[in-house]
Structure 1
Amino acid sequence: MQWTSILAVYFLIWVMSAFIMLPFGVRTSEEVGEALVPGQAESAPSSFRPRKILVRATIIAIVLTSLFVLNFEYGWVSPQDLDILPKPPSSVAVRN
Protein backbone atom coordinates (compact mmCIF):
# COMPACT_ATOMS: atom_id res chain seq x y z
CA MET A 1 0.00 0.00 0.00
CA GLN A 2 1.39 3.40 -0.94
CA TRP A 3 2.06 6.00 1.74
CA THR A 4 -0.35 8.43 0.05
CA SER A 5 -3.14 5.88 0.35
CA ILE A 6 -2.31 5.34 4.01
CA LEU A 7 -2.36 9.11 4.56
CA ALA A 8 -5.76 9.42 2.85
CA VAL A 9 -7.22 6.59 4.95
CA TYR A 10 -5.76 8.15 8.10
CA PHE A 11 -7.27 11.54 7.27
CA LEU A 12 -10.72 10.06 6.62
CA ILE A 13 -10.65 8.05 9.85
CA TRP A 14 -9.36 11.08 11.76
CA VAL A 15 -12.20 13.31 10.54
CA MET A 16 -14.82 10.67 11.35
CA SER A 17 -13.29 10.12 14.79
CA ALA A 18 -13.25 13.84 15.53
CA PHE A 19 -16.93 14.21 14.66
CA ILE A 20 -17.87 11.11 16.63
CA MET A 21 -15.93 12.38 19.68
CA LEU A 22 -17.66 15.79 19.74
CA PRO A 23 -20.66 14.88 21.97
CA PHE A 24 -18.67 12.82 24.52
CA GLY A 25 -17.74 14.52 27.77
CA VAL A 26 -19.78 17.65 27.05
CA ARG A 27 -21.44 19.32 30.02
CA THR A 28 -24.01 22.06 29.70
CA SER A 29 -23.99 25.21 31.79
CA GLU A 30 -26.87 23.84 33.84
CA GLU A 31 -24.93 20.66 34.70
CA VAL A 32 -21.87 22.68 35.72
CA GLY A 33 -23.91 25.22 37.66
CA GLU A 34 -23.05 28.29 35.58
CA ALA A 35 -25.50 30.99 34.61
CA LEU A 36 -26.59 31.14 30.98
CA VAL A 37 -25.43 34.05 28.86
CA PRO A 38 -28.37 35.91 27.27
CA GLY A 39 -29.10 34.28 23.91
CA GLN A 40 -27.22 31.09 24.77
CA ALA A 41 -28.93 27.79 24.01
CA GLU A 42 -29.61 25.58 27.01
CA SER A 43 -27.84 22.69 25.30
CA ALA A 44 -24.65 24.65 24.56
CA PRO A 45 -21.51 23.28 26.23
CA SER A 46 -20.13 25.28 29.14
CA SER A 47 -16.55 24.96 27.90
CA PHE A 48 -15.32 23.67 24.56
CA ARG A 49 -11.94 21.92 24.58
CA PRO A 50 -10.91 21.26 20.97
CA ARG A 51 -7.39 20.12 21.93
CA LYS A 52 -8.80 17.24 23.97
CA ILE A 53 -11.00 16.16 21.05
CA LEU A 54 -8.10 16.42 18.59
CA VAL A 55 -5.82 14.30 20.78
CA ARG A 56 -8.48 11.62 21.21
CA ALA A 57 -9.28 11.61 17.48
CA THR A 58 -5.57 11.33 16.66
CA ILE A 59 -5.08 8.33 18.94
CA ILE A 60 -8.17 6.58 17.60
CA ALA A 61 -7.17 7.31 13.99
CA ILE A 62 -3.65 5.95 14.52
CA VAL A 63 -4.99 2.70 15.99
CA LEU A 64 -7.71 2.19 13.35
CA THR A 65 -5.43 3.11 10.44
CA SER A 66 -2.79 0.70 11.72
CA LEU A 67 -5.38 -2.08 11.90
CA PHE A 68 -6.60 -1.21 8.39
CA VAL A 69 -3.09 -1.31 6.91
CA LEU A 70 -2.20 -4.54 8.71
CA ASN A 71 -5.43 -6.13 7.48
CA PHE A 72 -4.63 -4.94 3.96
CA GLU A 73 -1.13 -6.45 4.12
CA TYR A 74 -1.99 -9.76 5.82
CA GLY A 75 -5.56 -10.27 4.59
CA TRP A 76 -7.13 -11.17 7.93
CA VAL A 77 -10.64 -10.19 6.79
CA SER A 78 -11.47 -10.25 3.09
CA PRO A 79 -14.65 -9.21 1.24
CA GLN A 80 -15.50 -12.91 0.85
CA ASP A 81 -15.50 -13.27 4.63
CA LEU A 82 -18.11 -10.53 4.90
CA ASP A 83 -20.41 -11.99 2.23
CA ILE A 84 -23.17 -13.40 4.42
CA LEU A 85 -26.06 -13.33 1.95
CA PRO A 86 -27.16 -16.70 0.59
CA LYS A 87 -26.03 -17.57 -2.91
CA PRO A 88 -28.76 -17.83 -5.56
CA PRO A 89 -29.25 -21.26 -7.12
CA SER A 90 -26.93 -21.78 -10.08
CA SER A 91 -29.57 -23.31 -12.37
CA VAL A 92 -32.58 -21.04 -12.41
CA ALA A 93 -35.21 -21.76 -15.06
CA VAL A 94 -36.38 -18.65 -16.90
CA ARG A 95 -40.09 -18.60 -17.73
CA ASN A 96 -41.51 -16.66 -20.66
Structure 2
Amino acid sequence: MEWTSILAIYVLFWVISAFIILPFGIRNHAETGVEMVKGQADGAPVNFKPGRVLLYTTLLATFAFILFYFNYTNHWVTVEDIDFFGSIERIRG
Protein backbone atom coordinates (compact mmCIF):
# COMPACT_ATOMS: atom_id res chain seq x y z
CA MET A 1 0.00 0.00 0.00
CA GLU A 2 1.39 3.39 -0.97
CA TRP A 3 2.05 5.96 1.77
CA THR A 4 -0.39 8.35 0.11
CA SER A 5 -3.12 5.73 0.36
CA ILE A 6 -2.27 5.16 4.00
CA LEU A 7 -2.48 8.89 4.69
CA ALA A 8 -5.78 9.29 2.83
CA ILE A 9 -7.38 6.35 4.63
CA TYR A 10 -6.12 7.61 8.01
CA VAL A 11 -7.59 11.06 7.32
CA LEU A 12 -10.93 9.44 6.51
CA PHE A 13 -10.80 7.50 9.78
CA TRP A 14 -9.89 10.71 11.62
CA VAL A 15 -12.82 12.69 10.20
CA ILE A 16 -15.30 9.89 10.97
CA SER A 17 -13.86 9.62 14.48
CA ALA A 18 -14.27 13.38 14.98
CA PHE A 19 -17.98 13.15 14.23
CA ILE A 20 -18.26 10.23 16.66
CA ILE A 21 -16.38 12.03 19.48
CA LEU A 22 -17.87 15.54 19.12
CA PRO A 23 -21.21 15.01 20.90
CA PHE A 24 -19.76 13.38 24.02
CA GLY A 25 -19.41 15.56 27.12
CA ILE A 26 -21.00 18.68 25.64
CA ARG A 27 -23.42 20.63 27.85
CA ASN A 28 -25.47 23.68 26.91
CA HIS A 29 -26.57 26.64 29.07
CA ALA A 30 -29.87 25.08 30.08
CA GLU A 31 -28.12 21.97 31.39
CA THR A 32 -25.43 23.84 33.34
CA GLY A 33 -27.44 26.83 34.56
CA VAL A 34 -24.98 29.36 33.08
CA GLU A 35 -26.47 32.63 31.83
CA MET A 36 -26.53 33.04 28.06
CA VAL A 37 -24.84 35.92 26.27
CA LYS A 38 -27.10 38.13 24.13
CA GLY A 39 -27.33 36.73 20.59
CA GLN A 40 -26.05 33.29 21.56
CA ALA A 41 -27.74 30.18 20.17
CA ASP A 42 -29.76 28.05 22.59
CA GLY A 43 -27.76 24.91 21.89
CA ALA A 44 -24.29 26.52 22.02
CA PRO A 45 -21.95 24.47 24.19
CA VAL A 46 -20.66 25.88 27.46
CA ASN A 47 -17.75 23.52 28.02
CA PHE A 48 -16.31 22.78 24.58
CA LYS A 49 -12.70 21.63 24.91
CA PRO A 50 -11.08 21.31 21.47
CA GLY A 51 -7.87 19.81 22.84
CA ARG A 52 -9.81 16.95 24.41
CA VAL A 53 -11.74 16.38 21.19
CA LEU A 54 -8.53 16.33 19.13
CA LEU A 55 -6.86 13.89 21.51
CA TYR A 56 -9.77 11.45 21.69
CA THR A 57 -10.36 11.72 17.95
CA THR A 58 -6.73 10.94 17.21
CA LEU A 59 -6.72 7.99 19.61
CA LEU A 60 -9.91 6.50 18.14
CA ALA A 61 -8.77 7.07 14.54
CA THR A 62 -5.36 5.51 15.23
CA PHE A 63 -6.90 2.46 16.88
CA ALA A 64 -9.40 2.00 14.04
CA PHE A 65 -6.72 2.47 11.39
CA ILE A 66 -4.43 -0.07 13.06
CA LEU A 67 -7.27 -2.61 13.00
CA PHE A 68 -7.95 -1.77 9.35
CA TYR A 69 -4.29 -2.10 8.38
CA PHE A 70 -3.82 -5.42 10.19
CA ASN A 71 -6.96 -6.72 8.47
CA TYR A 72 -5.61 -5.47 5.13
CA THR A 73 -2.27 -7.22 5.56
CA ASN A 74 -3.51 -10.45 7.22
CA HIS A 75 -6.84 -10.85 5.34
CA TRP A 76 -8.85 -11.62 8.49
CA VAL A 77 -12.12 -10.41 6.94
CA THR A 78 -12.40 -10.37 3.16
CA VAL A 79 -15.14 -9.40 0.73
CA GLU A 80 -16.03 -13.07 0.34
CA ASP A 81 -16.62 -13.29 4.11
CA ILE A 82 -19.23 -10.54 4.10
CA ASP A 83 -20.89 -11.27 0.74
CA PHE A 84 -24.18 -12.58 2.09
CA PHE A 85 -26.16 -12.21 -1.15
CA GLY A 86 -23.75 -13.71 -3.70
CA SER A 87 -22.96 -10.39 -5.34
CA ILE A 88 -19.42 -11.35 -6.30
CA GLU A 89 -20.55 -14.20 -8.53
CA ARG A 90 -23.08 -11.94 -10.28
CA ILE A 91 -20.48 -9.23 -10.86
CA ARG A 92 -17.84 -11.61 -12.14
CA GLY A 93 -20.42 -13.26 -14.39
Q: TM-score range by the shorter chain?
A: 0.7 to 0.9
Compute the TM-score of the two structures, normalised by the length of structure 2.
Answer: 0.85
Residues 32-60 of structure 1, C-alpha deviations (whole Å, 9 max, x = no match): 12101111122110122111111011000
Structure 2 segments unaligned to the other structure (5+ residues): 88-93
| Map of 1:72 onto structure 2 | 72
Give matches, 1:1-96, under 5 Å: 1-85=1-85
Deviation for aligned residue 1:30: 1.7
| Map of 1:94 onto structure 2 | none
The structure where helix makes up a greater share of residues is 2
Larger Cα-atom Rg: 1
Secondary structure, aligned partner of 2:82: coil
Residues 38-85 of structure 1, C-alpha deviations (whole Å, 9 max, x = no match): 111221101221111110110001101001110000000000111111
Compute the TM-score of the two structures, normalised by the length of structure 1.
Answer: 0.83
RMSD: 1.4
Structure 1 segments unaligned to the other structure (5+ residues): 88-96
8 Å Cα contact 1:28/1:43 also seen in 2 = yes
Residue identity (%): 46
Distance 1:86 1:75, change over 3 A: closer
